[in-house]
Amino acid sequence: MFIWFMKERLVNKLFSSLRTFGFLFGYLPVSLLKYKKIKEQKNILSTEQYDQLVHNVPKLWASGILKRTKSQFTLEGEENLPSGPVLFISNHEGNFDIPSLLAYIPKPFGFISKIEVKQLPIISKWMEEMNCVFIDRSNRKSAYKSIEDTATHLENGHSILIFPEGTRSKGKEIGVFKSGFVRIAKQARVPIVPIAISGTSKIMEKNNNKICPANVQISILPTYTIESIDQNDTKKIIEDLHTSIARKIEMIRTTSK
């Protein structure tokens, strides 16, 4: 009986993985038609309108992926979202962080990604329209340029998401925050909106990379204003934001036990 039960669970995980990744890659060719139509409106719409139009497609794609994992999602703190461009920073728990945030954060945003992703057809086209920034972590010059490019996108009215840890925690304690995001916020003069996300590692990383349903909570925390950025040094800003996100994650994990 136990062996049969374990076999059934394994089959369900494999089926869920095939269904999820099948949609992930199957949707991309379909999105090309939308891509061409949307690009035609780039010079007609305002920056905010165009970003929202572009965002609708990745949001639909991300929502379709998440639906196939059969996971449950909770969003809180929408009232903390200010108008205008912001620098989102979030802890990085798993591979499903980006789809989860794309699907549930109502404000359009681009994000920083590894340079290797730029080689992926169709995906890279959408990421460029979303104002994503590609970084070669093995190249210091590229890392410096990514800071400048991110600040430029923010100055031009686009919101950007950064994972200051730089790598996934896979459900463990939040790692140390790198300081680059503070420099970006100071240069672009935009507020920082911290996000705490918990549960995404249970969808994939904690299951031998097989897809399983999980409970995911996304919390938009109070904004770190431009005034607060001006009044504090880099070390204090990092400490404040790391503490804010870490406390929220601990609270979520304690409550869910």
Longest dimension (CA), the chain: 64
Q: Which residue has the higher pLDDT, 72 or 3?
A: 72
Distance in angstroms (rounded) separating the CA atoms of residues 199 and 31: 28
Q: Provide the edge-to-edge strand list for the sheet that holds 160-162.
A: 72-76, 215-220, 192-198, 87-90, 160-162, 110-114, 133-135
* Position 7 confidence tier, pLDDT thresholds 50, 70, 90: very low
Specify the CATH number of the domain 2-256.
3.40.1130
Q: Of 169, 229, 150, whose CA–CA distance to 194 is shortest?
A: 229
**What are 8-31's pLDDT values in tens digits?**
344 344 445 555 555 556 667 777
Interval 74-88: pLDDT, tens = 999 999 999 999 999
Q: Are 203 and 212 in contact (CB under 8 A)?
A: yes
The domain spans of the chain are 2-256
Percent of the chain with pLDDT over 70: 89
Return the pLDDT at 2.
Answer: 33
pLDDT band at 209 (very low <50, low <70, confident <90, very high): confident
Is pLDDT at 235 greater than 50 in this prediction? yes
What is the model's pTM?
0.88
Cα–Cα distance list, 121 to 32, 54, 116, 181, 247 (Å): 10, 17, 11, 28, 39
Asked if the model's pLDDT at residue 227 lies above 60, the reply is: yes
| 88-103 mean pLDDT | 96
Backbone CA torsion sign across 9, 14, 17, 23:
negative
- What span, in angstroms and rounded, lies between the C-alpha atoms of 210 and 98? 18
**Helix runs in the chain, H state only:** 2-39, 47-69, 97-104, 123-129, 140-155, 180-188, 226-231, 234-256
> What pLDDT, on the 0 to 100 scale, is given for residue 24?
59
At 112, list the tokens: 């920083």
Give the model's confidence band at 50: pLDDT under 50 very low, under 70 low, under 90 confident, else very high: very high
- Give the distance, in angstroms, between the CA of residue 27 and the centroid of all CA atoms in the same chain: 19
pLDDT in tens, 194-205: 999 999 999 999
- pLDDT tens for 102-139 read 999 999 999 998 888 888 888 899 999 999 999 887 77
